[in-house]
Amino acid sequence: MHKLPALLLFLCSCAVGVAVHLWLRGSFYGCWWWSFSGLSVLFPQWEPIHYDLVVGILSARHNFELRNVIRNTWLKSFKHDPALNQRVQVKFIIGAHGCDIPVEDREDPYSCRLLNITNPILKQEMEVFIIPEAASSVLSEDRAVSVNFRVLYPIIITRLGVFQDNSIVGFERNITVKVYQAEHEEPLFSARFSPTSSGVQVDRLWYKPVEQFVLPEGFEGTVVWESHDPIGLISRNLHKVILNDGGGVLRLTTVEEGLLRYELSESVEGIAGGFTYTIHEGEALLQNLNSRPERLLSHLTKLEEEDALLKEESSTYQDIVFVHIIDTYRNVPAKLLHFYRWTVESTSYDLLLKTDDDCYVDLDNMFQRIVQKNLKRPNIWWGNFRLNWAVDRTGKWQELEYPSPAYPAFACGSGYVISKDIVQWLASNSDRLKTYQGEDVSMGIWMAAIGPIRYQDNLWLCEKQCETGMLSSPQYSPEELTKLWEKREQYGTPCACEER
Ligand SMILES: *[C@@H]1O[C@H](CO)[C@@H](O)[C@H](O)[C@H]1NC(C)=O
Ligand SMILES: *[C@@H]1O[C@H](CO)[C@@H](O)[C@H](O)[C@H]1NC(C)=O
């Protein structure tokens, strides 16, 4: 009952739009399709509106303010300009699910993995490996073996150790044990074992104390055992030992997970000894764990509130595409692929613009340039490309699965435009495409496979800068975006000086 007047109103406004813009391909049918999408089954000849450009804005769930500012700034002109309105479809891309673990209880802020520490062992030195009695040591020919680990809660390594040789009494070997921090060429600390300086024997290992550093949460380390003795090292396979993770404060990162080893490529994976460690600031850890249940509960409540707000926002503005992933940084590449699939299944267009919710975008400039440079063509990727960009093995941009030291060309953060045929290729292969740490570099790696025409354009700014004629610029706060837009409206350019 209530639907009828609204529908009529919609049809009227649509009819006006059609009258004014008869030149727009497909808009007449499109209008009907949107109004009676249910009927399109009965009348399959009705096609959706064909847009020149679909805009996908990657947005985090909680960025309500940024989205509203975008709606009231660079999207405003297109909303109120019927010509543009028929040519552009804009969607915010948002993960349907929030991470149900509070940030402080995650392994890292970029994924949704629980920092799973239970019954941590405090104020006590622990040996990192438990070696079953039955397992025998293997005399290998390897000159160097190594193991990678990741620190989940700060620890201090107190001693480094090497295996005892069962066949002889005392210590006859020459072995150096080094601990590296990922991507660093110099070891952080080391210990040398020799017949004249063998340290202390504890069960089946010889230990020596080392300089004590606090290895922080997120620390990626490698322990390397090296020997130049003709007889090689006594080592064990990682499967033959049990990790004593102190309740969950550290984890081994192994080749089996498909992860890269750091550039210590001459060593083989394994252990030729161990180390002892203590948990740093264990009291704080205990307190943190004790308050966890409460924190989890209040986080879930907040998540429900967020869900409700998002639902409301979506029904008010009709400009959100919810994709079925957990909304974390590491999932952004998957988020993008989901969106590409959505566009292919749900809408009709020539070009797709991908940008982020902290970007200033100038759609007018963009359309001018598309015409000027004749960019409405297949097989095109228009952006500002980073070339020979080094792959980080630690930190926010940590990438352990892409083996090269440098990424293939990728468009920098503020946005890019690709043609529909490329989106179609991505969408139809989305089940198979491997996602890497970031959405921008993943796109570069995927594109390397099909090699579209890269149209380099410096007006897609990679940094937060203002340039007259810019297509987009990243990293703004809601206030800054508002300011830019005010200046554009007042002076014709967002980069005008304030004092005039
Ligand atoms: C946390 O660790 C415990 C013990 O190691 C394990 O049983 C449990 O499944 C883990 N929980 C999660 C969510 O990983
Ligand atoms: C260890 O080094 C010493 C001195 O360089 C050498 O004499 C000895 O043979 C080495 N031990 C082994 C097991 O090779």
Please tell me what DSSP assigns to residue 256. G
Q: What is the pLDDT of residue 6?
A: 40
Give the CATH number for residue 146: 2.60.120
CA of 358 to the centre of ligand 1 (A): 37
Same domain, residue pair 201 and 252: yes
Which of 264, 281, 298 is the endpoint of a domain? Answer: 281
338 located within any domain: no
Helices (H), ranges, 222-331? 282-290, 292-317
Same domain, residue pair 52 and 193: no
Same domain, residue pair 140 and 225: yes
Query: Which residue puts its alpha carbon closest to atom 2 of ligand 2?
Result: 174
Determine how many CB atoms are found less than 10 A away from the CB of residue 222.
22
CA of 116 to the centre of ligand 1 (A): 6
Query: Which residue puts its alpha carbon closest to atom 9 of ligand 2?
Result: 229
Same domain, residue pair 264 and 143: yes
141 located within any domain: yes
229 within ligand 2 shell (Cβ under 6 A): yes
CA of 132 to the centre of ligand 2 (A): 29
Q: What is the pLDDT of residue 30?
A: 36
Q: What is the pLDDT of residue 84?
A: 79
Q: For residue 499, what are the contacts with CB-CB under 8 A and spacing of at least 6?
A: none
Q: What is the pLDDT of residue 265?
A: 58
176 located within any domain: yes
115 located within any domain: no
Same domain, residue pair 131 and 196: yes
Task: Report which of 46, 16, 62, 1 is spatially closest to residue 357, judged by C-alpha positions.
Answer: 62
Rg of the chain taking only CA atoms, in angstroms: 29
% helix, strand, coil for the chain, step of 5: 30, 25, 40
Token digits for 447? 């594109």
> Taking a C-beta distance cutoff of 8 angstroms, is the pair 378, 419 a contact?
yes
Show the domain range for 207. 126-281
106 located within any domain: no
Same domain, residue pair 177 and 276: yes
114 within ligand 1 shell (Cβ under 6 A): yes
CA of 274 to the centre of ligand 1 (A): 24
Same domain, residue pair 136 and 264: yes
Same domain, residue pair 54 and 173: no
Token digits for 446? 């995927």
464 located within any domain: yes
Rounded to whole angstroms, the Cα distance separating 341 from 343 reads 5
296 within ligand 1 shell (Cβ under 6 A): no
Same domain, residue pair 154 and 276: yes
Q: What is the pLDDT of residue 132?
A: 83
Probe ligand 2: pick from 143, 229, 231, 233, max atoms within 8 Å of CB? 229
> Which residues on neighbouring strands pair with residue 249, listed in sequence order?
none
Altogether, the residues listed in the chain come to a count of 500
Q: Which ligand is nearest to the CA of 230?
A: 2
Q: What is the pLDDT of residue 256?
A: 65
Please tell me what DSSP assigns to residue 460. B
* Strand extents, DSSP E, 186-258: 189-193, 200-202, 205-209, 214-215, 220-226, 234-235, 242-243, 250-252
Which of 244, 259, 281 is the endpoint of a domain? Answer: 281
Same domain, residue pair 82 and 133: no
174 within ligand 2 shell (Cβ under 6 A): yes
218 located within any domain: yes
Q: Which ligand is nearest to the CA of 172?
A: 2
116 within ligand 1 shell (Cβ under 6 A): yes
Same domain, residue pair 259 and 151: yes
Q: What is the pLDDT of residue 481?
A: 97
Same domain, residue pair 58 and 140: no
Rounded to whole angstroms, the Cα distance separating 451 from 432 reads 18
Ligand 1, closest atom to CA 116? 1
Count of the separate structural domains present in the chain: 2
Which of 244, 263, 281 is the endpoint of a domain? Answer: 281
346 located within any domain: no
Q: Which residues of the chain fall below pLDDT 50?
A: 1-41, 499-500
